[in-house]
Amino acid sequence: MNDDQLLRYSRHILLPQIGIEGQDAIVNARVLVVGAGGLGSPAAMYLAAAGVGTLVLADGDTVDLTNLQRQILHSQEGVGRLKVESGRDTLARLNPEVKVVPLACRLEGEALEEEVGLADVVLDCSDNFVTRHAINRACVARGKPLVSGAAIRFDGQVSVFDLRQAESPCYHCLFPEGEDVEEIRCAVMGVFAPLTGIVGAVQAAEALKLLADCGEPLVGRLLLLDALAMDWRTIRLGRDPSCQVCAQR
Ligand SMILES: [Zn+2]
């Protein structure tokens, strides 16, 4: 790190759990954020401010007026623009040292697996089960830690799936595919604006901890937030020995 970086990141470097070594790892890291919406906004902003070297932002959507209530990566003048381009501009204003790679597409198939393979940590900030399962499969296949977040109405959840740890479940262990899980979306159900900020910020925190190798990641634990009661609960998660995605590994 140069002198400017030592100054910019001094409040991280002062933390003994992070220090120069941890911040160096953050500055040299590549993080994939899938989804530049309610969760991806705060997650990407904190990751950029904290100095993650390369941020890959994947989202095929454009900014809509209904997004602005919570998607703080975007502003009024961004309406109609690609979210990844609006997001890249916001992140560049926050921290010009971060290289932002905008992918204006719904990342899937080989392209998804390739991007996951290049990343040190993957954040699932998407809003549908098809994408969530695809990201999980790619992370299991490539052995990459996945920080998963979700927010709907007043309910939020976060967990970390890291198959490098023997006891870690994967997303599929928790939410098996094909089970009749009802897809509930913000467009229909609504979502409390700061809830997405809280959940996205927790995802950024978990990603930075993984990069700096400090603390205890949310592996094997599902953190649940009821924002109406402002009540946090933690559920212990076990690995499903018959999971179709991770059991053969
Ligand atoms: Zn599994």
- Does the pLDDT value for residue 188 go beyond 90? no
pLDDT digits (tens, 9 = 90+) for 193-220: 999 999 999 999 999 999 999 999 999 9
Judged by phi (left if over 0) then psi (alpha if -120 to 50, else beta), residue 172 lies in: alpha
- Give Cα separations from 22 to 48, 95, 98 (angstroms): 15, 18, 17
DSSP helix, strand, coil percent of the chain (3-state; round to 5): 40, 20, 40
- 249 falls in which pLDDT band (50, 70, 90)? low
Ligand 1 midpoint to CA 242 (Å): 8
Three-class DSSP category at 235? strand
Ligand 1 midpoint to CA 28 (Å): 30
Q: What is the pLDDT of residue 178?
A: 72
Give, in degrees to the nearest 5, the angle at Cα 170 between 188 and 149.
Answer: 35
Ligand 1 midpoint to CA 57 (Å): 26
Ligand 1 midpoint to CA 246 (Å): 4
Q: What is the pLDDT of residue 248?
A: 74
Ligand 1 midpoint to CA 248 (Å): 9
Question: What percentage of the chain carries pLDDT values higher than 90?
Answer: 93
pLDDT digits (tens, 9 = 90+) for 31-81: 999 999 999 999 999 999 999 999 999 999 999 999 999 999 999 999 999
Average pLDDT of the chain is 95
- 118 falls in which pLDDT band (50, 70, 90)? very high
Q: Are 196 and 41 contacting, i.e. CB atoms less than 8 angstroms apart? A: yes
Q: Which residues contact 213 (CB under 8 A, 6 or more apart)?
A: 22, 25
- 187 falls in which pLDDT band (50, 70, 90)? confident
Ligand 1 midpoint to CA 181 (Å): 17
Ligand 1 midpoint to CA 224 (Å): 20
**Burial of 51 by CB count in 10 Å (0-12 exposed, 13-18 middle, 19+ buried)?**
buried
Ligand 1 midpoint to CA 117 (Å): 19
Mean pLDDT of 143-155: 97
pLDDT digits (tens, 9 = 90+) for 168-186: 999 999 998 876 566 767 6
Ligand 1 midpoint to CA 45 (Å): 30
Per-chain residues with Cβ under 5 A from ion ligand 1? 170, 172-173, 243, 245-246
